[in-house]
Structure formats: structure tokens, C-alpha cells
Amino acid sequence: MYITNTELRVRYAETDKMGVVYHSNYFVWFETGRTEYLRALGYPYSRLEKEGIMLPVVECSAKYKKGAQYDDEIIVQTSVSELKGASVTMCYEVIRKETEELLVTGFTKHAITDKKLKPVKLKKENPELWAALQDCI
């Protein structure tokens, strides 16, 4: 199982009046983890899009244990949990670097589509990326 660690700092803009990070912002961090995961594999998502492969989110979920706070250093651990004909699911663990506490877990499931958001069979369309993702699980 291939895992990447992406680091970021909590922005003031990401907090809310409860003093912790607003829950929807973790999905943006998941995106950051996913972006760096695909780059590490050799397939930056910005390039995939230019080549006509889109990964729109069809489902996502998160569980919150503890809240991240302003200026915390955060690690987003990213992995691939499932690869199907025309979808891929990625998992995330959000960790506070200083204390190594697990703050949030979650996943995003993505359709694999062309530019018009029509499903494509990745194995046929881009067999190298397919193989690379298979090797990650």
C-alpha cells in the first residue's frame, strides 16, 4: 500500500468561531493530499485534466475526532483504497504533526471521466495510470 504525507499549515481563514477548523475545509486538505499523491505517482492532476481525464467527486465522507487549530502543522496521509472500472476511492488521515494525534479520517470516491464528465474506462484510456494506481493498493 502506497501512502504519501503532505504537509500544510492551518490558515486563520480556515478556522471558525468555535476556534477550530470548519469541518468542510478538511475536504480541501484531502484535495491537497490527493494532488500530491498523483504528482508523486508521476501523474499530476493538472496534466491529467489537460489530457482529458477528470476525477469529479461522486461521494465523500469524514469523521472528526479532534479539531485542528490555527497555525498547527498538519500531515495529510493519502492512499488509494479501491480502483474499479471507472472509479477510484482515496483515503485520508489528517494528523497534527507536533502531537502525532489523529484528527480526522475520510475518503473521497471519484468517477473517472472525460472532459464532458462522461465515464471512461481508465484501463483502456490510460493503461499506465491504471497500472500505477493498481500497484498502490
Per CB under 8 A, 77 contacts its own copies: no
Among 61, 73, 84, 121, which residue sits at the site for its own copies (rule: CB under 8 A)? 61
Tell me the catalytic residues: 16
Q: Determine the Cα–Cα distance for residues 72 and 95; give it in Å rounded to an integer.
A: 10
Q: Is position 56 an interface residue for its own copies (rule: CB under 8 A)?
A: yes
Interface pick for its own copies out of 1, 63, 116, 124 (rule CB under 8 A): 63
Q: Which residues contact 50 (CB under 8 A, 6 or more apart)?
A: none
Instruction: Say if CB 52 and CB 114 are below 8 A apart.
Output: yes
What's the min distance (Å) between Cβ of 19 and its own copies? Answer: 5
- Give least dist CB 58 to its own copies, A: 5
Q: Tell whether residue 84 is a contact of its own copies (CB under 8 A).
A: no
Q: With binding defined as CB under 8 A, does residue 46 bind its own copies?
A: yes
Distance, in Å, from the CA atom of 41 to the CA atom of 110, rounded to the nearest integer, reads: 17
- DSSP assignment string, 4-35: EEEEEE--GGGB-TTSSB-TTHHHHHHHHHHH
Does 71 participate in binding its own copies (rule CB under 8 A)? yes
